[in-house]
Amino acid sequence: MSLTLSSVVLPTFSKGLDTLTHILQAAQEHASKNGINADDTYPNARLVDDMRPLTFQVQNSTRTVLRVVSRLQGTAEETWEDTETTFADFYARIDKARKVLKNADAKKIDERAEAQVDVPLGPQTFKMPAKDSALNQGIPNFFFHLQTAYAILRAQGVPIGKRDYISSFLGI
């Protein structure tokens, strides 16, 4: 079996979205058991004052899926409004990202692995092969926001641990 770009990127994002869903569900369960309104408490929670809240982490992890898949396929990136404020909104946003993965053209992704793409980072834009943009910017960025969402919920007292984070990647 040969390793292809699509066989790395698409399942990694899919499993990461499973993890995001799982930790959000764990937060809702914890809130329910402890008389906490999850929609009032968690979406604006942050690790520190100058960091973005949970809402941003959900939006940016899902936007990263959209952005990377669009870039890899050479298609225009759809615009998603950032209007999510509740857990129902978070799940709907995650479902949109899942649809992007479901509709991704693996053959096109693999054919375009060496195509030069633009990768904006702050005020600069870098040109690099599509595979490098996915492996060296897209996936790390996705994991940054996924792990930050995990850390925010953990800091809020949600009883999640490593198993909650890693299980979907291991298929358990």
What pLDDT is recorded for position 107?
A: 97
Read off the pLDDT band of 1 (50, 70, 90): low
Query: Rg of the Cα trace of the chain?
Result: 17
How high does pLDDT run on average in the chain?
A: 96
pLDDT mean over 149-166: 97
pLDDT tens for each residue of 104-139: 999 999 999 999 999 988 899 999 999 999 999 999
- Residue 125, SS3 per DSSP: strand
SS (H, E, C) 53-96: CHHHHHHHHHHHHHHHHHHHHCCCCCCCCCCCCCHHHHHHHHHH
> What are the tens digits of pLDDT across the range 29-75?
999 999 999 999 999 999 999 999 999 999 999 999 999 999 999 99
